Amino acid sequence: MSEEKLMSKKKPSYPISDELDAYLERYSRKIELPIFYDDLLRFTGSVVVYDSNEEDTLWIRVYYNEFDRQEIDLSLKRVYSILHSDGSDYLDQYLNVDAVDYCTFANSKPFRIKIRNILNDNFTYFYVKKADASRVYGLELEHMLSPYNLNFLVYNDTLIEEHIAGIPGDVFIKEMLPNCTESEKAQLAKEFVKFNERSMIRLLGDMRSYNYVIVPTHDFDQVIYKIRAIDFDQQCFEGKLKVYRPQFFKENYLMVELVRNKLMKDSVDQYKLEERSIIAKRILSSGNRIKLLGEICKKDSISIDSNINTLKAQIFDLTKDTKFKKCKTMGEILDLALDFVKRNYQGVSMKQIIENRIKI
């Protein structure tokens, strides 16, 4: 199936509802910011940003007039302090805004801010985006249901996200995967199965190779690889279930081949079970927080009717749970899907999985 048919050509941006805004404030995600996304659009010029191979990165480096630049630099330093420290102006004297980059390719049209510590030249990034309800739900679910915590802030129509470090999936597959040992390839296959399962369960779509990173960690005499999502724009929007399964994107073909060549069916089932079980435990440990988010999402409008009808029908075909047929919003489908995982897979034995060959 071609990607044009698999996914909608463009997903609209959905506003933050009053209920979601109150949720963000309750959990310290909403903090007054000194700068808004639209302020960064006042740039007066730009140049193309190339990578080390002199290829276009699809980012442009933007420039501002002298008056705006001083104000913007100071505000961006303060945003960094709010995101990573106590929000005071104490850090300003040690920080420099090295670059403000703008990406017109991505759906969210983000700004990427490079902040450098002038005392030691250490630097980091953060992103300024238009606040979109889909993305906020995606970030919160990633924070609660994945192995990773996320740091982000929302104020009015502006979203600030911390940088997620790692090797872009497309770069890793092209340049590093061929040089991995057979043991490392087997480990990557395992992680891709888990990542595929995690994305599907929480309805995170469009995990093409450039929308996730590979994170290597040195552990004694080996390198451990993890796969981590970095784009949450396609949370609960598309109607086709395949969109929420990374294995169906052509950019991930070599990762799918790894799974096919390195893992037996029983191993794939085992890793799926492990991921479902840990997600079920995270749902339970999140308590009222994920319950409240689910209640808000169920009433929110973050997709179109045709997508909702298609997805609930396809999930019913997969699970045979008639409750999905009654869903009227994407939030209801998501909430029921998470409840289905909690009810049906926590504590299921490996023997049951192998004997029943639970279809995923």
Query: Could you tell me if residue 136 is inside a domain?
Result: no
219 within some domain? yes
pLDDT at 86: 87
**pLDDT single digits (tens) 260-309:** 999 999 999 999 999 999 999 999 999 899 999 999 999 999 999 999 99
- From 75, 108, 130, give the residue that closes a domain: 130
Q: What pLDDT score does 359 carry?
A: 43
- Provide the sign of the torsion angle of the four alpha carbons 86, 233, 217, 112, taken in this order: negative
| Beta carbons of 207 and 142 less than 8 angstroms apart | no
Task: Tell me, yes or no, whether 120 and 188 share the same domain.
Answer: no
Determine the pLDDT at residue 221: 82
Average pLDDT, the chain: 91
Spatial distance between the Cα atoms of 131 and 152, rounded to a whole number of angstroms = 11
In this structure, the answer to whether residues 106 and 175 fall within a common structural domain is no
| pLDDT tens, position by position, 176-201 | 999 999 999 999 999 999 999 999 99
- Ranked by mean pLDDT, the top range of 157-161, 279-283, 319-323 is 157-161
Q: Are both 176 and 30 inside the same structural domain?
A: no
Burial class (CB in 10 A: 0-12, 13-18, 19+), 355: exposed
Residue 314 maps to a domain: yes
End-to-end CA distance of the chain: 19
Among 130, 159, 183, identify where a domain stops. Answer: 130
How many whole angstroms separate alpha carbon 249 and alpha carbon 5?
12
Residue 12 resides in a domain: no
275 and 193 fall within a common domain: yes
pLDDT band at 57 (very low <50, low <70, confident <90, very high): confident
User: What is the model's pLDDT at position 353?
Assistant: 44
Q: Minimal CA–CA distance to 113: which of 55, 163, 50?
A: 163
| Three-state DSSP state, 191 | helix
Q: What is the pLDDT of residues 29-55, one digit of tens each?
A: 999 999 999 999 999 999 999 988 888
Question: Is residue 172 located within the same domain as residue 116?
Answer: no
Residue 1 has pLDDT above 70, yes or no: no
Q: What is the pLDDT of residue 345?
A: 56
Query: Are 176 and 317 members of one domain?
Result: yes
pLDDT band for position 357 (cuts 50, 70, 90): very low
CA angle 73, 78, 82 (to 5 degrees): 150
46 and 173 inside one domain: no
When divided into structural domains, the chain yields a total of 2
Query: Within this chain, do residues 103 and 185 fall inside the same structural domain, yes or no?
Result: no
Q: Which domain holds residue 37?
A: 17-130
How far apart are alpha carbons 354 and 123 in whole angstroms?
48
Judgement on whether residues 193 and 300 belong to the same structural domain of the protein: yes
8 falls within a domain:
no
Residues 55, 197 share a domain? no
Q: Do 214 and 169 touch, CB atoms closer than 8 A?
A: yes
pLDDT of 235 above 50: yes
Q: Please indicate, yes or no, if residue 7 is contained in any of the structural domains.
A: no
Percent of the chain with pLDDT over 70: 94
Which of 102, 130, 158 marks a domain boundary? 130
User: For the segment 243-265, what is each residue's pLDDT rounded down to a tens digit?
Assistant: 999 999 999 999 999 999 999 99
Looking at the structure, tell me whether residues 183 and 303 fall in a common domain: yes
**Mean of the pLDDT values across residues 217-225?**
87
The continuous run of DSSP H or E covering 116 comes out as: strand 111-117
Q: Please provide residue 222's backbone torsions phi and psi, each rounded to the nearest 5 degrees.
A: -145, 165
The verdict on residue 10 lying in a domain is no
Q: Give ∠ CA 113-164-333 in degrees, rounded to 5.
A: 115
Structural domain contains residue 3 = no
Same domain, 120 and 186: no
Contact 188, 229 (CB under 8 A): no
